[in-house]
Structures are given as C-alpha cells and as structure tokens.
C-alpha cells in the first residue's frame, strides 16, 4: 500500500435449473429503503487488509465417487463444484484457519495486532459453544487491545460482520475492526449423505476494516431474516432444543440437514432482491457495478439470480466455487482475495457482496473500493519482526496460563503454607483450553 494512501486511511485513527418461480411466502415482503445519507463528519469504513487460508487437503469429485453414490458429472452439472478443501489435520480447526487468515489481512494492511479494536468472527462451526472462536483468535494473533465475539448468521455471516464493523467505525467506537469468516464444515457433514457432503468445504477469509477520511468504503448494507424457514437448513442437535445424547449422536442429528430445492428457490429470489436494495441505498444501479462477489454455494443459484434477474454480465461476477465448494461464511472473503489476486479489483470500483444462508438469512453490501491492491513489498526485517510479534503473542498466552495455574495450586493463606496443610486441600491443576491450537 502506498504511503500517501495509507496516511489518508490512517488519518481518522482514528441454488432445478431454469429459474423457478419465486416463492412468495418464504419471507415477508419488504419495502425498499430510501438511500442512506452520507456518514457524518467525513468518516468512512474502508477495507484496507485482506487474507485467506485454506487446508492443503483436496478432495475431488472423483474422490467422493469412492465414498457415496455420486459422480463427477452429477456434481458439476448440479452445483459447479469440482473439488473442495478439507481440514484433515486434527490441529487444523476453525480458530487456526481464522488466525492464519487474520494475520495475512494485518500484513497486507501493515497494521500491528495491538491496534485492532474489535474482532468479529462469523462461523457456523465454532471451536466451542463457548468461549467464542474470536477470543481464541484474539489470543493467537496478539490483539491485546481488541474486544472479540462470534457472529452466527450462517453463510450470510461475513456480510453481517461487515455491517457491524461499519456501524462501530462510523459511530466512532473503533478505528480498526477485523472481520473473519471461518469454517470447518467437513466436521459437521454426514459423509454418507450425497446431497450435502458434495457441497461443503473448509477455509477462512478475513478483512481489516479501518476508519478513514477517504470517501467510499462500505457504503450501504441490506440484512434480512425469515425464521419460519429455520428447519430448511439446520444442524438439529447440540443446542438447548436437542442437547447431545446417545440418541442424537446415533441418528446423525449433529450433521447438516438441508431441504435443497426449497433453499434453492429461496436463494435465487433473495440474492437478487438483497443486491438491488443495497445498491438503491448506495445510490447505484446494476449498471454501476464493476464486480459482484456472491456467496459461493451453487453455480446455478448465481446464474439464476445475479446473472439472469439483475442482467449483470458474467465477466462482472466472480466465481471460484469450483475449487473450494461452499465454505459458508468464508466463501465471500476467500473469493474477494482471489479476485484481488486476479486483478479484478482496483481503486474506485463498485463492488457488491451478497449471500444467503441458514436462519433463513440474507445480506448484501455495496462497497466502493478505496485502496491499492498491489501486493506490498515486505523486507526481511519487517517480515522477521512480524513473526517475532506472533511468537511473542504465543509466549504471552503461555505465561498467562502458567500464572493462572500457579494461582490454582498456590495456597492463599501464608500460615496454611507454613503448616503444610495446603497439600491436602489444594485443588488439582485445571486443564486449560488451548488458545493457540495448531499455531
């Protein structure tokens, strides 16, 4: 990133194939909101860093032919997917993929982790029910001054996260917000169900959103939900409705369940509607759009929504699902990074991110790209310093765990310590949750 651009940005630091008919009762009708006013005080939310990380293990359609009753031709003609990445190493988790993507985003922006004010991690396959995967990432990257929380909006979650980051920045509550979409869906997929196991993959993508006085950035968002369709795309067990039990495990209730045809009809409709509303709010039309980066779920959903309904040319819609499958909330940031690598994004371009997912949810945002996308030149000294910083973060985490362990086993009463009575009453050392797993 050029120094003069960076100084400007840092100044404020401050898826049946021919298009089924719409199903009118799947979501309440909404009226198009009027265009939003420009942010006050000349404060904007610009994407200044980006990065992604995917597992090295590749599973092709031909590999799946050995597992379930399917074929490469069947998968490609119905979804467009040719292969997907899977976290085969036990040390590869949602948090480790997220942390790797976050570090790359910070490196592109040349921002130290300590400057990050907030981390939002969108995921449907979190490290744990709690603590938040975002907190594990915060510890792993050394973002010592950042708040952190997880966001659950399924495949729409990354765009929801961008909306929240924009709100925090325009309100003046944050200067840098790290938004991450990360998934290890392979671990909640039923590998005997050909209707779902062929679809999903693992990966993570992240962007750093910064306060800036450069006009543009995340200009408008459109968020929506229709809970009446909650059972159309769901992991039934594991929550308070159906806690984990021998029955839920034996009947596969902890795996993804999906009503494919219903989700397809829903997605085709809301992808086009959400895009139109976000553009309206930003004062734009489909003709103004330079690139659409849709949720990478199914090629025919993209074709029947963005291409046919909005009449946006194919060369202005970025698709990479053939290589990664549906990585849920990670699909849009991964696609954004690859679009940048392919030189399809440049300063001044109008972009649209649009997704849909379980909930049911949908989301779109209009972005005016405001920063150079050329890969920054990083000297050996800066690279070494960055790596040292991440190693220091790991050491800091280990030290804090050690201190907590000492408080657990060390007697609170000096007289008790002198008498030796503490040996009989001292609690067993607690097994600590690893926050730098796989890092």
Residue 307's contacts (CB-CB under 8 Å, 6 or more residues apart) are: 313, 314, 317
Residues 385 and 331 in one domain: no
Question: Which pLDDT value is given to residue 415?
Answer: 62
Q: Are 8 and 213 in contact (CB under 8 A)?
A: yes
Q: Are residues 210 and 284 in the same domain?
A: yes
Percent of the chain at pLDDT > 90 equals 75
Domain boundary among 324, 346, 368: 368
Q: Give the structural domain span for 391.
A: 380-425
Residue that is last in its domain, among 335, 368, 401: 368
Q: Are residues 357 and 408 in the same domain?
A: no
For the segment 326-351, the average pLDDT, to the nearest whole number, is: 98
For the segment 257-314, what is each residue's pLDDT rounded down to a tens digit? 999 999 999 999 999 999 999 999 999 999 999 999 999 999 999 999 999 999 999 9
Q: Does residue 432 fall inside a structural domain?
A: no
Exactly one of 53, 61, 121, 155 is catalytic; which is it?
155
Confidence at residue 394, expressed as pLDDT on a 0 to 100 scale: 80
Is residue 220 included in any domain, yes or no?
A: yes
Closest CA to 121 of 141, 138, 143, 144: 138
The answer on 278 and 355 residing in a single domain is yes
Decide if pLDDT at 152 tops 90. yes
391 and 288 in a common domain: no
Picking from 324, 343, 368, the residue at the C-terminal end of a domain is 368
Q: Which helix (H) or strand (E) holds 46?
A: strand 44-53
431 part of a folded domain? no
Residues in the chain, how many? 439
Same domain, 280 and 134: yes
> Which pLDDT belongs to residue 23?
42
Closest CA to 47 of 240, 199, 209, 252: 209
Is residue 400 located within the same domain as residue 354? no
> Per the residue annotation, which of 53, 197, 295, 298 is the catalytic one?
295
In a domain, 373, yes or no: no
Average pLDDT over residues 336-362: 98
Q: Are residues 362 and 401 in the same domain?
A: no
422 catalytically annotated: no
Mean pLDDT of 30-57: 77
Give pLDDT, residue 216.
Answer: 96
Q: What is the CATH number of the domain that holds 160?
A: 3.40.47.10
Is it the case that residue 35 has pLDDT exceeding 90? no
Domain co-membership, 352 together with 403: no
Catalytic (active site) residue 326: yes
Q: Are residues 293 and 397 in the same domain?
A: no
Residue 374, domain member (yes or no): no
Q: Total structural domains in the chain?
A: 2
Of 3-17, 133-147, 150-164, 299-313, the poorest mean pLDDT is in 3-17
Q: What is the pTM of this model?
A: 0.85
Going by pLDDT thresholds of 50, 70 and 90, the confidence category of residue 19 is: very low
Q: Are 139 and 83 members of one domain?
A: yes
Confidence of residue 407 (pLDDT cuts 50, 70, 90): confident
Q: Which of 61, 298, 304, 326 is catalytic?
A: 326
Residue 9 has pLDDT above 80, yes or no: no
pLDDT at 25 exceeding the cut of 80: no
Whether 363 maps to a domain, the answer reads: yes
pLDDT bracket for residue 201 (50, 70, 90): very high
Domain identity same for 388 and 334: no
pLDDT recorded at residue 258: 97
User: Percent of the chain having pLDDT more than 70?
Assistant: 84
Catalytic (active site) residue 16: no
**Structure confidence at residue 280 (pLDDT):** 98
Contacts with 400 (C-beta within 8 Å, 6 or more apart), sequence order: none
Lowest mean pLDDT across 50-54, 222-226, 264-268, 375-379? 375-379
């Amino acid at each position: 990133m050029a120094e003069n651009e960076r100084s400007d940005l840092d100044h404020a630091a401050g898826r049946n194939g021919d298009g089924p008919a719409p199903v009118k009762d799947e979501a309440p009708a909404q009226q198009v909101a009027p265009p939003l006013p420009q942010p006050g005080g000349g404060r904007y939310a610009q994407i200044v860093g980006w990065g992604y990380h995917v597992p090295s293990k590749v599973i092709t359609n031909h590999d799946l032919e050995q597992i379930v009753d399917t074929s490469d031709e069947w998968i490609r003609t119905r979804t467009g997917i040719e292969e997907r990445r899977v976290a085969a190493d036990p040390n590869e988790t949602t948090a480790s993929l997220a942390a790797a993507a976050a570090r790359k985003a910070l490196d592109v922006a040349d921002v130290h982790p300590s400057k990050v004010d907030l981390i939002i991690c969108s995921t449907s396959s979190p490290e744990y029910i709690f603590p938040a995967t975002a907190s594990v990432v915060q510890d792993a990257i050394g973002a010592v001054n950042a708040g952190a929380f997880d966001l659950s909006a399924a495949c729409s979650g990354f765009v929801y996260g961008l909306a929240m980051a924009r709100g925090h920045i325009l309100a003046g509550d944050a200067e840098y917000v790290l938004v991450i979409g990360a998934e290890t869906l392979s671990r909640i997929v039923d590998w005997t169900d050909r209707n779902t196991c062929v679809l999903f993959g693992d990966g993570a993508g992240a962007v750093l959103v910064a306060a800036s006085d450069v006009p543009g950035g995340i200009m408008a968002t459109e968020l929506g939900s229709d809970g009446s369709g909650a059972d159309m795309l769901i992991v039934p067990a594991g929550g308070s409705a159906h806690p984990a039990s021998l029955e839920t495990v034996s009947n596969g209730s902890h795996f993804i369940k999906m009503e494919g045809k219903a989700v397809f009809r829903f997605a085709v409709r809301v992808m086009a509607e959400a895009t139109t509303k976000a553009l309206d709010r930003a004062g734009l039309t489909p003709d103004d759009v330079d690139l659409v980066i849709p949720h990478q779920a199914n090629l025919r959903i993209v074709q029947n929504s963005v291409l046919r309904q909005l009449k946006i040319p194919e060369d202005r819609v970025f698709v990479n699902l053939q290589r990664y499958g549906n990585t849920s909330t990670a699909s849009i940031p991964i696609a954004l990074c690859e679009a940048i690598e392919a030189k399809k994004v440049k300063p001044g371009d109008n972009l649209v991110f649009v997704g849909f997912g379980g909930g049911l949810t949908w989301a779109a945002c209009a972005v005016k790209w405001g920063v150079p996308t050329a890969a920054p030149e990083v000297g050996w000294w800066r690279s070494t310093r960055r790596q040292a910083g991440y190693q220091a973060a790991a050491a800091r985490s280990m030290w804090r765990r050690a201190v907590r362990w000492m408080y657990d086993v060390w007697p609170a009463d000096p007289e008790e310590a002198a008498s030796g009575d503490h040996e009989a009453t001292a609690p067993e050392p607690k097994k600590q949750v690893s926050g730098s797993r796989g890092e």
